[in-house]
Amino acid sequence: MSIRTSGVGNLLVTALATLVLAGCVTAGPIAELSASSSSAAGGHVWQEQLDDAWVLVESRFPDAARPPVQMDRYVHPSEWASLVVNCLHELGYTAARASPDGGVQSGSLEPSQAEPHALALYQCTGRYPIDPVYFESTDAQSVNALYDYFTDVVVDCLAAQGFTVSPAPSRERFLETFGTNEQWDLYGEVAAQVGSQERWYEVNEQCPQRPPSS
């Protein structure tokens, strides 16, 4: 089995969700937002996301012992994959690679490696969480544009590819929950339906997650 994760989304939870879905997960904002404000006070956010991520690991491996995780620093989305890959290499998963779309490709894993790999991924994504500033819904124009793109283009495109997703929320609800665990996550729903990584890449090529202009 080969696992791919993405750092763009709800921080650690989006990355670790692939352990439950056993597939491909990616989600995120239409555009990077300014990181001018300090996120040093966001340590509690990191801990909450770390706790949620562990719930996902534990749901698949109930007897797993939770390893300690020390955050190195918040990172920019563009460097997340390479840092997580380097961390996985340090822990012995040398087949891990950064994929072209900014995710992490685990390489081939034997069934016996599933739990150790899940723990390693938990540690590495916790060590290098994406700065929460990149998920703040402060750019209303960009988020509105993403809503239009999802409702006008992506839903029909995904339907043509054979996927069913939940109905679109109101624009107000989309804006309110964007960047949170409650956001409308079309591609997370698709990730639960795809049968292979190849199919995931095909869907992303046919139905890009961002508008062409982004």
> Is pLDDT above 80 for 36?
no
pLDDT band at 35 (very low <50, low <70, confident <90, very high): very low
- Are residue 146 and residue 180 in the same domain, yes or no? yes
Domain stop point among 135, 154, 174:
135
- Are residue 157 and residue 110 in the same domain, yes or no? no
With respect to residue 213, please indicate whether it lies within any of the assigned structural domains: no
Query: What confidence score (pLDDT) does residue 16 get?
Result: 52
pLDDT band at 20 (very low <50, low <70, confident <90, very high): very low
Query: What confidence score (pLDDT) does residue 33 get?
Result: 30
pLDDT above 70: percentage of residues in the chain: 75
Q: What's the pTM value of the predicted model, to 2 decimals?
A: 0.57
- Are residue 20 and residue 97 in the same domain, yes or no? yes
- Are residue 19 and residue 117 in the same domain, yes or no? yes
- Are residue 184 and residue 85 in the same domain, yes or no? no
- Are residue 34 and residue 121 in the same domain, yes or no? yes
Query: What confidence score (pLDDT) does residue 210 get?
Result: 78
How many structural domains are present in the chain?
2
pLDDT tens-place string over residues 145-194: 899 999 999 999 999 999 999 999 999 999 998 877 788 999 889 988 98
Query: What confidence score (pLDDT) does residue 84 get?
Result: 93
Structural domain boundaries enclosing 164 = 140-206
With respect to residue 211, please indicate whether it lies within any of the assigned structural domains: no
- Are residue 126 and residue 194 in the same domain, yes or no? no
Q: Mean of the pLDDT values across residues 6-15? A: 46
- Are residue 130 and residue 173 in the same domain, yes or no? no
With respect to residue 119, please indicate whether it lies within any of the assigned structural domains: yes
- Are residue 95 and residue 77 in the same domain, yes or no? yes
Secondary structure of the chain in the HEC alphabet?
CEEEEECCCCHHHHHHHHHHHCCECCCCCCCCCCCCCCCHHHHHHHHHHHHHHHHHHHHHCCCCCCCCCCCCCCECHHHHHHHHHHHHHHCCCCCCEECCCCEEEEEECCHHHHHHHHHHHHHHHHHCCECHHHHCCCCHHHHHHHHHHHHHHHHHHHHHCCCCCCCCCCHHHHHHHCCCCCCCCHHHHHHCCCCCHHHHHHHHHHCCCCCCCC
Query: What confidence score (pLDDT) does residue 90 get?
Result: 95
pLDDT tens-place string over residues 67-115: 999 999 988 877 888 999 999 999 999 999 887 666 788 878 888 999 9
- Are residue 50 and residue 27 in the same domain, yes or no? yes
- Are residue 20 and residue 56 in the same domain, yes or no? yes
Domain stop point among 100, 135, 170:
135
> Is pLDDT above 60 for 206?
yes
Domain stop point among 115, 135, 155:
135
Sheet with 2-6: list strands edge to edge: 2-6, 103-108, 97-98
> Is pLDDT above 50 for 4?
no
pLDDT band at 39 (very low <50, low <70, confident <90, very high): very low
- Are residue 74 and residue 32 in the same domain, yes or no? yes
Query: What confidence score (pLDDT) does residue 43 get?
Result: 65
